[in-house]
Each structure stands twice: as C-alpha cells, then as structure tokens.
Amino acid sequence: MDRSSLFQLIQEQLDPENTGYIAVENFTSLVEHHELQLDPSKLEMLFALVQSNEEGQVCYQELIDLMSSKRSSSFRRAIANGRRSLQREILLDETGLGVYKRFVRYVAYEILPCETDRRWYFHQSRLCPPPIFMAIVTIVQIIVFLCYGVMLNKWVLQTYQPDFMKSPLVYHPGHRAQVWRFFSYMFMHVGLEQLGFNALLQLMIGVPLEMVHGILRISLLYMAGVVAGSLTVSITDMRAPVVGGSGGVYALCSAHLANVVMNWAGMRCPYKLLRMILALVCMSSEVGRAVWLRFSPPLPSSGPQPSFMAHLSGAVVGISMGLLILRSYEESLQQQCSWWVIVFSFVTFLLFAIFWNIFAYELLGVQIPPPP
C-alpha cells in the first residue's frame, strides 16, 4: 500500500464526513496493521502523536504533514507533552554510518538542544541543498584578500596602504551615498589575522547552523549583522571606515552562544563549558584588537582606522534576532509575535540610520576625512 492509498483509506473509512479529525482508537488499529513501510523513528512519532491526544481525536492534516516529512508546532508539542515518549537511544551509539551521516549526527548534537529535534533532523537530513551560503561568502572573501594582497604586496595591516582604502568595496563615511558599500565592506579585511579569524568561525559555526536552519534564515541573520554593523558605525563613529565581515560573524556566534546558554541542560555537545569560554575569550580578544587599532594605531596613518562598532552591533543582532531564529527550529517565524517585534525594531533602526546618514553629518558639522 502506497502513501496515497493510505491517505485515501484513512479519509474514506475513518473520516467519511470530512470533519478533519479521526478517532484515536480507530486510527491506532489501522496503523498497527497497515502495510506501508515507515522508518522506525517516524512510526514511533506517529504513535506518539496518536496516543498523546486527550480528546480522543487526531487532526487529519497533522497526519498528512508527518507522512510527508513535515512537522507543525502542534505536533512538536504533542510529542513533548504526550503520554508516549520517543526512545532514548543516544545517536552517538549508532554504528555503521557513512561519513555524511556521521557529520549530520555531529551537527545535530552541536546545534539542537532537544532530543526530539535531534532525532528528527538526523533522520530527515538530506545532502541537497548543501550549505552553500557560508562557503560562498568565505571563498569570495579569501579571493578578494588574495587579489589585494598580491596587488599591494602586503598581507597584514592592509588599511595602512592608501590604495587599499581606495577600493570600491570599503565603507568610508565620505562615500556613504554609495549604498552598496554598506554591504560590500564584508569582503575586505585588515589583514591575514582578521580574515583567518572570521573564516574559521564562519565555517565552524555558520555551516552547521545553515545545515540545520537553512540558507534563508542564516543568510538573513548574517546579512542583518553586516548591515547593522556599517549603519551603527555611521551613527556612533562617524569619521571611521569599516572593513571585514565581523558584523555577520558576531551575529552568528552570539546567536549560537546565546542559544547554548538558554538551553544549557538540553545541549549535548561535548566540553560545552570549555568551548564557550574559549569562544568568548577569542571574540573578546578580537574586539580588543579592533579597539587598539582604532585608537592606538601602530603605524602613522593619513586617516582614522576602521571602527570596532560593527563587532558589537553584530553581537546585538545575534542575541535578539538570531536567538529567536535558532530557537524556532522548523516553526514559522511569521506566526510568532516576538518575531514581528524584532523585525519592527530592526526596520525602525534602518530608517533612523538612513535619515541620520542623509541629514546628521551636515547638521552636526562632522569633519569627515577626505575620501581616498
């Protein structure tokens, strides 16, 4: 019996009046005797959904969604609150897995705090589509850095090279009318150390997050951190340029760390306390280095050095917007009131920053260094 036949049988025999609900007793009997082959995890979830309903009815649409490899928030709540629980075998105990499935198992324990979510992601994960966003961003950043490194014959402190600051990718307050610079600065880096730090974090944290939460959510989070970084600098450090993808990187990192803290008991990643301490030390050191380069540059320079405010604004975006995105695994963001509050706040900030860049520089008489 195929799936369509099973769906038709359920609707004709158990819900002839098309009420949208099926009696639990009748459906349980059907599931126990039908010939459709389901993987053990999905069959177990199906029984959990059926037996968790206290009203003696099961929603037909939820059954269709489950059989079609979809989950609704109501199904997840049914599993969490139901009288029947999922089996508690540890994913790490499973043997005979290929390289890809082992990596998926690692990602599930790294990112997801709930055993139900981990099991669901592990069994439903597919190689297509691959996590290409963070990979493409990192590759482009490396290519741009190599091109400028060869052209300038300089691999550290590239911002002290006048030709570097002439790049059309760098954000400079004197060129703020060129809107693309508020985005494109993420492809430029101060030097090899900043590029290495950002690329490492993007791949170690961004790729697993993209595998679990999808390209749309993670790209939105990353780009929101990038845009917030340049706009925040244009408001708080009005004479400084900006380079580097730190705004997006810190949005990803702070969102992941905040998610780990908020779900500390449920996270099963090994050495999570030690790893969190190391991550905070590395991020703090990078911010400290950026502050030092901004206010105490080691070499004489013709103008202000890049600002560090993009790091901080990216962290704020990650804790606010990113934490909600990561906590809403397989749930629609559009149906959550808190999501719209965050979107409204972010849009309000964008509008304020746009008007600030148009009017505030002249009204305040800010002396902008001449653009290169």
State the DSSP code for 369: P
Residues whose CB falls within 8 Å of the CB of residue 17, separated by 6 or more in sequence, listed in order:
none
pLDDT at 142: 96
Residues with a known catalytic role: 246, 311
Residues whose CB falls within 8 Å of the CB of residue 348, separated by 6 or more in sequence, listed in order:
none
Average pLDDT over residues 148-175: 89
Structure-model confidence comparison of residues 120 and 218, the more confident one: 218
196 — pLDDT class (breaks 50, 70, 90): very high
Question: What is the Cα–Cα distance from 276 to 282, expressed in whole angstroms?
Answer: 10
334 — pLDDT class (breaks 50, 70, 90): confident
pLDDT at 158: 86
- pLDDT digits 0-9 by tens, 201-215: 999 999 999 999 999
Structure-model confidence comparison of residues 334 and 257, the more confident one: 257
Mean pLDDT estimate for the chain: 82
- pLDDT digits 0-9 by tens, 292-324: 888 887 777 667 889 999 999 999 999 999 989
- pLDDT digits 0-9 by tens, 58-105: 666 666 666 555 554 544 554 444 433 444 556 666 777 888 888 998
Please name every residue paired with 21 in a beta bridge, in sequence order, or none if there are none: 59
- Please say whether the beta carbons of 231 and 353 come within 8 A: yes
- Please say whether the beta carbons of 233 and 295 come within 8 A: no
Question: What is the Cα–Cα distance from 216 to 133, expressed in whole angstroms?
Answer: 9
pLDDT at 84: 39
State the DSSP code for 242: B
pTM of the model: 0.80
